[in-house]
């Protein structure tokens, strides 16, 4: 019997996930805003037979541009450009349920799924942060629980809209002037706490039925949301034990929701720092840390945790702070960062070095074989169904992973050598969802 | 001296503008939702050296799908896919100021301008129609004047956001870890009647500064809006005299706003029905009318004018109706349709035949030379700076226009034989806008 297969997603962010990436000689100063850069990355990931590429997102300028390229092109515009330059790889974009309307977003992702012939995924986020709130007429970010309640109804509305056209709506009778079955496209008449949406959508049901639903928040609210809606989950876990605990917890929650835990794929994020030898990999990691700008790291720390520090605090331990439940931002990331600092007794400077690459995601430093070993260990011991690969430098870090780590995983029988399916759901081994308004028992009508 | 050059925009809509298009043997039943169909159309238009292709839009399912393909892919997703398949042609999408937030839409069009290297245009609409309102929690469409007031502030906010990054923000000092000039990217701190937006945008200023601004409403409110904001105007005019009156009126309003009337291009829409002989063209026009489904036309008439009729009314004149100022939908289209019916004393059936191709836009029936004659007449007598070409069938109607009408216009020296510029503004002969926060007198700083 074939071995269980792991899944790989390439998380594409500017010219690399490490905040020092731009200072390396080979890094482009303008790649962050250049579609050709992302096209190349998507093609490299497809050459590596990755399941998907992925873009984070938020509707505000996050991070301090004095010290690093920040800002983001709209990923729902990038995906169709990348769809035109690739054939098989899945295309996942983040979009906010707090700062969009469900009709618009359901339609946008449905269109991406049509344009890419079934390769679209939506990473559903509720968007922490005051900066985003202030771009939409609010003084501060809506309360954490409220954002998740809105998100749940938002996705319910989207799924109704995506199912508002039956798959077999087309009649196509040219002789008699009858194009479609009128009763197979119907309003959804949704009336809820947050939304009133009449429908139907103005786009037919898509190749995948609807885009793959991805979720990446690991707070209590986030996990419950994932258990109910997600088909793939991106997560940040620092240790194998933490990864196993998260994996077991989430799969149990999925089962408790009456869903098959095998149909929700869990992918921790990792920052692979690769060297031909272990010493070379360590040297690369040290160089990345050496080039960090403390002022930038402190500002990032403040935005992840709410803890405001100055350069005078760099060689002290992280000060005591309040309880996670008071955090209205990214609760799980707050807990991860403060736990990491306590557990390893890190100074602020050491903590910034640990966060510089992946903002809380685990960094793996080593040879291709060593990185494959750690991947296999996590994959084989109940901590992961695959990995969200976050190269410190782009494109070079992705090229190295594809050229040197992927072949090791393939030799070990852990990863595909060719695509076997056409859609993103095919790659993740997930079925096309049944239309909630059209049970599969309906008699199919032939299209003339 | 070279002759004044006309501009051509290809209005792409499903498999043709004529409501009978889908019933022709060569028409695709699924082209409406197929990116390959639109890619082919954009490439044909680029071969014909068109200035741009254009998609209408609205966030609801408009029209009765029982009788014709309706519904629309999101054009802001189509444009980046088409950008990847073309090199020079401009790409214009419609988007609503009533059902979007300015931060999201400013960012989306900025991204399209980056991804297309300066070929993006935005057709600004306020979206008439109750169906759209009911997809966004409203019972009915907001009042006409209110929509235009919101649209004006919406565009003001977008232009501030598009200018929130100076063109020369990049410092790029890798040695010292200084990426950008922090003070050249600034909040906009907009506080208005409809919007509070802090900014800055999270996307740099774009190749065109900002996308070409297009407008297509010809009501009193619409004309004033166009005079203040538009760089290109699409309009529906049935007669040369009406076209001249509209052209003179709008150019005068542009001047009264203190803008150069030469920098606002006016493009009436035309439906060209082309034949090798005039008789053949007439035959094609008759066939298009013969294949109309009356039930569909009556429903369209109701949505254009609010006048609800049945098949029993087909051979009667259009009944008397109320005053245009009470219309909360497309006021100018209401006036055009009722004027046309009165002026030519048409029965309802005859009126439906006249509207079936262009929903109020003028149909030109004839040989390529005859169509070029009419284009030249309108262009040369103060009714147009160019034309919005609305082929009755797609792709065939666009292919015929490119292969047979464009060469006549080129021989007469009225239309380019090669592109001379790179951006959409280049094609329309318009300058890149100056950044409102960074006057051109600022001393440029070299990028290292």
DSSP per-residue codes, A214-267: EE---SHHHHHHHHHH-SEEEE--SSHHHHHHHHHHHHHHHHHTT--GGGSEEE
**Residue at A116 is within a domain:** yes
Region for A267 from its dihedrals, namely left if φ exceeds 0, alpha if ψ lies in -120 to 50, beta otherwise = beta
Chain B: closest CA distance from residue A398 (Å): 22
Chain B: closest CA distance from residue A434 (Å): 21
- Measured over all CA atoms, what is the biggest interatomic distance in chain A, rounded to whole angstroms? 81
Neighbours of B293 (CB within 10 A): 21
Q: What is the model's pTM?
A: 0.95
Mean pLDDT of A437-442: 65
What are the tens digits of pLDDT across the range B27-66? 999 999 999 999 999 999 999 999 999 999 999 998 899 9
**Residue at A399 is within a domain:** yes
Residue A337 pLDDT class (50, 70, 90 cuts):
confident
Dist. CA B256–CA B224, nearest whole Å:
10
Whether pLDDT at B399 is above 60: yes
What are the tens digits of pLDDT across the range B154-210? 999 999 999 999 999 999 999 999 999 999 999 999 999 999 999 999 999 999 999
Dist. CA A379–CA A242, nearest whole Å:
13
Write the DSSP symbol of residue A271.
E
Residue bearing the bigger pLDDT, B215 or B440: B215
**Residue at A94 is within a domain:** yes
**Residue at B321 is within a domain:** no
Residue B336 pLDDT class (50, 70, 90 cuts):
confident
pLDDT of residue B448: 44
Number of domains in chain A: 1
Residue A448 pLDDT class (50, 70, 90 cuts):
very low
Chain A: closest CA distance from residue B78 (Å): 7
Mean pLDDT of B309-331: 78
Cβ <8 Å between A196 and B134: yes
Mean pLDDT of A178-186: 96
Question: Which chain A residues have a beta carbon less than 8 Å from that of B356?
Answer: none
**Residue at A299 is within a domain:** no
pLDDT of residue A358: 74
Region for A71 from its dihedrals, namely left if φ exceeds 0, alpha if ψ lies in -120 to 50, beta otherwise = left
Mean pLDDT of B431-445: 75
Residue bearing the bigger pLDDT, A360 or A328: A360
Interacting residues of B420 by C-beta distance below 8 A, sequence separation 6+: B426
Residue B144 assigned as binding residue: yes
Instruction: Answer whether B226's CB lies under 8 Å from B217's CB.
Output: yes
| Averaged pLDDT score across all residues of chain B | 93
User: In the numeric block, which tokens belong to residue B276?
Assistant: 């090798």
Dist. CA B300–CA B63, nearest whole Å:
7
Strand-pairing partners, residue A54, are: A11, A92
Structural domain range at position B153: 7-271+367-427
Nearest to A397 by CA among A272, A267, A311, A213: A272
Dist. CA B397–CA B288, nearest whole Å:
13
Chain A: closest CA distance from residue B338 (Å): 27
pLDDT of residue A218: 83
pLDDT of residue B139: 95
What are the tens digits of pLDDT across the range A362-382? 899 999 999 999 999 999 999
pLDDT of residue A434: 95
Whether pLDDT at A269 is above 70: yes
For the domain that residue B103 is a member of, what is the CATH number?
A: 3.20.20.30
**Residue at B403 is within a domain:** yes
User: In the numeric block, which tokens belong to residue B147?
Assistant: 């929509």
Report the share of chain A in percent with pLDDT over 70: 95
**HEC profile of B281-301:** HHHHHHHHHHCCCHHHHHHHH
pLDDT of residue B264: 97
Cβ <8 Å between B115 and A78: yes
Instruction: Answer whether A88's CB lies under 8 Å from A56's CB.
Output: no
Cβ <8 Å between A196 and B72: no
Interacting residues of A157 by C-beta distance below 8 A, sequence separation 6+: A102, A103, A106, A188, A190, A192, A195, A197
A9-23, A258-272, A319-333, B428-442: least confident range: A319-333
Write the DSSP symbol of residue A343.
H
Residue B417 pLDDT class (50, 70, 90 cuts):
very high
Whether pLDDT at B252 is above 90: yes
Phi first, then psi, for residue A126 (nearest 5°) are -105, -5
Cβ <8 Å between B197 and A59: no
Residue A301 pLDDT class (50, 70, 90 cuts):
confident
Whether pLDDT at B444 is above 80: no
pLDDT of residue A148: 96
A10-24, A174-188, B224-238, B324-338: least confident range: B324-338
Mean pLDDT of B342-371: 89
What are the tens digits of pLDDT across the range A102-121? 999 999 999 999 999 999 99
User: In the numeric block, which tokens belong to residue B9?
Assistant: 């925009």
Residue B57 assigned as binding residue: yes
Whether pLDDT at A439 is above 80: no
Question: Which chain A residues have a beta carbon less than 8 Å from that of B196?
Answer: 134, 137
What are the tens digits of pLDDT across the range A210-253? 999 999 978 899 999 999 999 999 999 989 999 999 999 999 99
Which chain A residue lies closest to B137 (C-alpha atoms)?
A196
Q: How far apart are the first and last CA of chain B?
A: 43
Question: Which chain B residues have a beta carbon less than 8 Å from that of A84?
Answer: 80-81, 84-85
**Residue at B93 is within a domain:** yes
Mean pLDDT of B118-134: 96
Angle between helices B331-343 and B220-229 (to 10 degrees): 120
Q: Write the CA distances from B76 to B37, B84, B99, B108, B213, integer angstroms.
A: 16, 13, 14, 8, 15
**Residue at B94 is within a domain:** yes
Sign of CA dihedral B112, B118, B124, B130: negative
Cα A20–A24–A27 angle (5° rounding)?
100
Interacting residues of A122 by C-beta distance below 8 A, sequence separation 6+: A92, A93, A94, A95, A105, A109, A211, A212, A213, A214
Residue with tokens 């409406």: B32
Dist. CA B109–CA B125, nearest whole Å:
14
């Amino acid at each position: 019997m074939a071995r269980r297969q792991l899944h790989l997603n390439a998380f594409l962010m500017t010219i690399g996930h490490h905040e020092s990436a731009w200072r390396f000689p080979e890094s482009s100063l303008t790649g962050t805003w250049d579609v050709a850069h992302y096209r190349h990355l998507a093609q490299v990931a497809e050459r590596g037979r990755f399941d998907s590429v992925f873009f984070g997102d938020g509707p505000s300028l996050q991070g301090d541009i004095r010290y690093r390229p920040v800002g983001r092109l709209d990923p729902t515009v990038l995906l169709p450009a990348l769809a035109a330059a690739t054939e098989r790889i899945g295309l996942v974009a983040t979009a906010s349920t707090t700062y969009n309307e469900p009709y618009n977003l359901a339609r946008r992702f449905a269109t991406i799924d049509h344009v890419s012939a079934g390769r679209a995924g939506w990473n559903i986020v509720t968007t922490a942060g005051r900066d985003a709130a202030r771009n939409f007429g609010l003084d501060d970010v809506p309360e954490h629980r409220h954002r998740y309640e809105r998100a749940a109804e938002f996705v319910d509305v989207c799924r109704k809209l995506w199912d508002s056209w039956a798959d077999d709506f087309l009649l196509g009778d040219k002789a008699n002037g009858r194009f479609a079955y009128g009763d197979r496209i119907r309003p959804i008449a949704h009336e809820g706490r947050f939304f009133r949406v009449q429908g139907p959508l103005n786009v037919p049901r898509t190749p995948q039925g609807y885009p793959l639903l991805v979720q990446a928040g690991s707070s209590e609210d986030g996990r419950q949301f994932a258990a109910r809606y997600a088909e793939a989950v991106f997560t940040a876990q620092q240790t194998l034990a933490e990864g196993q605990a998260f994996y077991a917890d989430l799969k149990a929650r999925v089962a408790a929701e009456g869903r098959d835990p095998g149909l929700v794929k869990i992918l921790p994020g990792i920052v692979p720092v690769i060297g031909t030898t272990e010493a070379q990999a360590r040297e690369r990691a040290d160089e990345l840390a050496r080039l960090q700008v403390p002022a930038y790291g402190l500002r990032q720390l403040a935005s992840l945790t709410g803890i405001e520090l100055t350069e005078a605090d760099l060689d002290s331990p992280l000060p005591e702070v309040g309880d996670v439940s008071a955090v209205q931002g990214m609760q799980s990331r707050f807990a991860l960062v403060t736990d990491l600092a306590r557990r390893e007794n890190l100074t602020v400077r050491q903590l910034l070095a640990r966060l510089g690459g992946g903002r809380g995601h685990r960094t793996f430093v080593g040879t291709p074989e060593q990185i494959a070993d750690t991947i296999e260990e996590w994959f084989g011991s109940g901590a992961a169904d695959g990995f969200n690969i976050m190269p410190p430098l782009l494109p070079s870090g992705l090229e190295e992973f594809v050229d040197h780590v992927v072949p090791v995983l393939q030799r070990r029988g852990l990863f595909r050598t060719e695509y076997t399916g056409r859609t993103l759901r095919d790659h993740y081994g997930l079925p096309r969802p049944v239309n909630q308004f059209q049970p599969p028992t309906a008699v199919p009508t032939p299209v003339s």
